[in-house]
Structure 1
Amino acid sequence: MFLIDMFNKKTVMPDPAHALPGRETELPTAETHFVNGRPLKGPYPEGTEQILLGLGCFWGAERLFWKTPGVHVTAVGYSGGFTRNPTYQETTTGLTGHTEVVLVVYDPRIVTLESLLKLFFEEHDPTQGMRQGNDIGTTYRSAIYVYTDEQKRVAEAMRDAYQASLDRAGRKTRITTEIMDAGPFYFAEDYHQQYLAKNPGGYCGLKGTGVACIA
């Protein structure tokens, strides 16, 4: 019974008052992108924009976006929760409230936000709530954290377009993707950054619904 209770807690957002406290200092992480050598924390080129995208395990999700033309740099980390500067081990308890996300810094003159969000919706299952496939817990929930009102408008429009695509395909599920203003983003530890470039045979849990997003 104890084990069941502990498992269930991981699929429910914690009360902020009882979330883990974290720490004041940032976790050490990589300085540059393992694939393209660009600074993870900037400065980023003038004209680029940022968005935070959660598609389940961030290892495979990050690779999806660093391979996309027009994306300047990517990094993985934690957002959407309450604990300051959490460690990976802390997030997996379900007591920080964070989800695993990819920071995507992109040039909108080369790749549109609509194109990035089409990838987002097609390459994972945004209807699963607090899980992605066999990855279960609040850290694997689908999320889009935006920095501007325009990004929120586009995100909501793309969500609605994908829901319509699912409906036309006869799916009976509803999208659970969290769309919110971006809060603090905490860079994950060094070994998580560009993990699948460093470990080509590593785990990737990305799996879409097989339904195309027709906006």
Structure 2
Amino acid sequence: MFLLKSKKMEMVLANEALPGRSAAIPTAETHFLSGRPLTLDVPEGMEVAMFGMGCFWGVERIFWQLDGVWLTMVGYAGGHTPNPTYEEVCTAKTAHNEVVRVVYDPKVIGYDTLLKVFWENHDPTQGMRQGNDMGTQYRSGIYTFNEAQKAAAEASRPAMQARLTEAGFGAITTEILPAPEFYFAEDYHQQYLAKNPSGYCGIGGTGVSCPIGLGA
């Protein structure tokens, strides 16, 4: 059992990853709450962000509740396997992270605010786990779409680290990378906690406040 858990905490090499498939797996056509098309298209004037914070069910709910967020969707990113299934991701043999893709109106909510929500609503010091959820798919990650986002994310990490260190936490393990390809998760994962209000949610913050005004 211990060996099984330790393997799930290690990133698989590309040449050892599952082969995946050429076709996208089926997913929902519309957002369960808003009815908007669940698509990678970004409406004019909107921007997109992507985060990994642990189990994507709870993370998506955090973001869809924010004023200025137009659309949320859950999926897999940052791995080697094309078009993976949830079962494949759970083997830790795809290297994918569970992520939430957020389309937002920057006139209503800024990227700095999204970063603040990111840092305060999970523990970014836990490595390949989040609470009781263990494995590479639960790692902390910020995936940036432009230089401004990258600068804001990079500036926010040491600022949050200082606060966490003061509170007795260890080093931040969050990866900050250019946004990799996003693969939609299956239909039942999309807006899961809206469909199942009493469903599992393992997301929880550290209680440490993130400094305001972090971005570039």
For the criterion TM > 0.5, the same-fold answer is yes
Q: What is the match of residue 198 of structure 2?
A: 201
Q: What is the match of residue 178 of structure 2?
A: 181
1:124 & 1:172 partners in 2: Cα distance? 13
Structure 2 residue 13 is matched with structure 1 residue 25: no
2:169 & 2:198 partners in 1: Cα distance? 34
CA RMSD of aligned residues (A): 1.0
Find the partner of 1:130 among 128, 141, 146: 128
Q: What is the match of residue 108 of structure 1?
A: 106
1:77 & 1:65 partners in 2: Cα distance? 14
1:168 & 1:4 partners in 2: Cα distance? 33
**Deviation string, structure 1 residues 121-163 (Cα, Å, up to 9, x no partner):** 0010000000000000000000111111111111111112111
2:106 & 2:79 partners in 1: Cα distance? 28
Q: What is the match of residue 32 of structure 2?
A: 34
Structure 2 residue 83 is matched with structure 1 residue 82: no
2:34 & 2:77 partners in 1: Cα distance? 24
TM-score by length of 1: 0.96
Structure 2 residue 139 is matched with structure 1 residue 157: no
Q: What is the match of residue 211 of structure 1?
A: 208
Q: What is the match of residue 52 of structure 1?
A: 50
| 2:125–2:169 CA contact under 8 A, matched in 1 | no
Q: Secondary structure at the match of 2:48?
A: strand
Structure 2 residue 146 is matched with structure 1 residue 148: yes
1:31 & 1:86 partners in 2: Cα distance? 18
In the alignment, structure 2 segments of 5+ residues that lack a partner are: none
**Deviation string, structure 1 residues 75-128 (Cα, Å, up to 9, x no partner):** 000001000000000000000000100000111111011101101100100000
Q: What is the match of residue 14 of structure 1?
A: 12
TM-score by length of 2: 0.96
Offset of residue 172 of structure 1: 3.9
1:125 & 1:10 partners in 2: Cα distance? 19
**Counterpart amino acid of 1:46?**
E
2:141 & 2:111 partners in 1: Cα distance? 15
Offset of residue 214 of structure 1: 1.3
**Counterpart amino acid of 2:171?**
R
| 2:42–2:48 CA contact under 8 A, matched in 1 | no
1:138 & 1:172 partners in 2: Cα distance? 21
1:46 & 1:6 partners in 2: Cα distance? 46
| 2:5–2:134 CA contact under 8 A, matched in 1 | no
Offset of residue 42 of structure 1: 4.8
**Counterpart amino acid of 2:66?**
T
